[in-house]
Amino acid sequence: MEITRDIIDEIAEGAILLDGFEHCIVGITEEFGGNIRILYSTKKIIDSLVQDSEMTLDEAWDYYNYNVIGGYFGEQNPIFLIDYLVD
């Protein structure tokens, strides 16, 4: 099942989405007493930056570290799966 905006609105109302990285969503997370949040694939984000933005791999990592993982967007801030270690 593809995670669509309708599903996010239904299951994870108020969750923060990163513009332009919808295709990098791999799931929706929840925890006891916590907020429901969007889970992004770090590997997919880096690959997207290299392919779509024509960045070098180093530039993509710099952008990711500063603008993506380094950002605080609210209580339902997205979380990121460290999946770049696995092929």
Is the CB of residue 76 less than 8 Å from the CB of residue 12? yes
Q: What is the pLDDT of residue 44?
A: 96
Q: What is the pLDDT of residue 87?
A: 63
* Cross-strand pairs, 27: 39
Residue 46's identity, in one-letter code, is I
The arithmetic mean of pLDDT across residues 8-31, rounded, is: 89
What backbone torsions phi and psi does residue 81 show, to the nearest 5 degrees?
-85, 125
| Residue tagged 């967007």 (tokens) | 73
CB atoms within 10 A of CB 32: 4
pLDDT at 41 over 80: yes
Q: How does residue 85 score in pLDDT terms, banded at 50, 70 and 90?
A: confident
* DSSP secondary structure letter of residue 39: E
* Cross-strand pairs, 80: 40
Average pLDDT of the residues of the chain: 90
- What's the rounded Cα separation, in Å, for the pair 40 and 56? 21
pLDDT at 7 over 90: no
